[in-house]
C-alpha cells in the first residue's frame, strides 16, 4: 500500500494550543497505516503583502508553499477568535492563494477542524474556513464539519483523550484517505 503524506496547519500560535494538541494527537495516534501527518509551523509567516510576492518571496512563504506542494492532502486546525477564523489561518490562506503564483491548495483534498472552549466549538470559524477554501478552489473532503466543543475538557496530559471526538476525527481522516486512494498515485516530493 502506497504511503500518503498529509500536512497539518495549526492556526493558533499559543505554546499550549488546543488545536496543536489535536493535530499532534492525530499524527501520533489516529493516522491509518501508511498515512503520515507532517505539521508545518506558521509562526514566522509574515503578513500577506503582494509587494513581497514577486521576485524576493519571503523564505517562510516559500517553505509553506513547498510543504503544501509536497503532500497529497491538508488538514487545517483553527480556533475561533471574535466569531471568526484566526488571523494566522487567514494570513496563511492568503499566501497560499496569491494572485501572482499558482495556488498549491487548488484541487488539494482539504479537511478542516475547529476547536474552542465554548459550547459552539468554532462553528463560525468553520464557516469562514470553508468559504475561503471554496474561493481558493481547494477540494473539501466530503465529511461533516469537525467542530470540537468544550475542547479543554477533552485534552489531558498533552493529548486529545475524548473517545467520541477521537473516533469522529479518525473517521474524517479515513474519509480523506479513501478519497486519496481512489485517485491515481501522484508524484510527490520525498520527505526526509
Q: Whole-model pTM?
A: 0.92
DSSP characters for 89-138? HHHHHHHHT-SSS--TTTT-EEEEEEE-SSTTTTHHHHHHHHHHHHHHT-
Residue 78 pLDDT > 70: yes
pLDDT > 90 fraction of the chain, expressed in percent and rounded: 79
pLDDT value for 168? 97
pLDDT value for 75? 98
How far, in Å, CA of 162 to CA of 143, rounded? 20
Residue 191 pLDDT > 80: no
Q: What is the DSSP letter of 37?
A: E
At residue 179, the 3 state secondary structure works out as helix
pLDDT average, residue stretch 89-112: 93
CB 62 within 8 A of CB 109: no
Residue 192 pLDDT > 80: no
pLDDT value for 186? 53
Fold of 4-183: Rossmann fold (3.40.50)
Percent helix, strand and coil across the chain, each to the nearest 5: 40, 20, 40
CB 10 within 8 A of CB 77: yes
CA proximity to 74, closest of 37, 103, 41, 45:
37
pLDDT average, residue stretch 83-98: 94
Q: What is the pLDDT of residues 121-163, one digit of tens each?
A: 789 999 999 999 999 999 999 999 999 999 999 999 999 999 9
Amino acid at each position: 500500500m502506497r504511503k500518503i503524506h498529509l500536512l497539518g496547519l495549526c492556526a493558533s500560535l499559543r505554546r499550549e494550543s488546543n488545536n496543536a494538541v489535536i493535530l499532534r494527537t492525530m499524527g501520533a495516534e489516529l493516522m491509518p497505516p501508511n498515512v503520515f501527518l507532517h505539521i508545518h509551523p506558521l509562526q514566522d509567516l509574515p503578513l500577506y503583502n503582494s509587494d513581497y510576492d514577486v521576485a524576493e518571496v519571503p523564505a517562510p512563504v516559500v517553505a509553506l508553499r513547498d510543504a503544501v506542494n509536497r503532500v497529497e492532502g491538508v488538514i487545517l486546525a483553527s480556533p475561533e477568535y471574535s466569531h471568526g477564523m484566526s488571523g494566522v489561518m487567514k494570513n496563511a490562506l492568503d499566501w497560499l492563494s496569491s494572485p501572482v503564483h499558482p495556488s498549491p491548495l487548488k484541487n488539494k483534498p482539504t479537511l478542516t477542524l475547529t476547536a474552542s472552549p465554548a459550547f459552539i466549538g468554532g462553528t463560525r470559524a468553520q464557516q469562514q474556513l470553508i468559504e475561503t477554501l471554496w474561493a481558493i478552489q481547494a477540494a473539501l473532503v466530503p465529511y461533516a464539519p469537525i467542530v470540537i466543543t468544550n475542547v479543554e475538557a477533552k485534552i489531558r496530559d498533552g493529548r486529545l483523550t475524548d473517545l467520541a471526538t477521537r473516533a469522529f476525527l479518525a473517521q474524517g481522516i479515513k474519509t480523506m484517505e479513501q478519497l486519496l486512494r481512489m485517485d491515481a498515485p501522484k508524484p510527490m516530493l520525498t520527505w526526509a
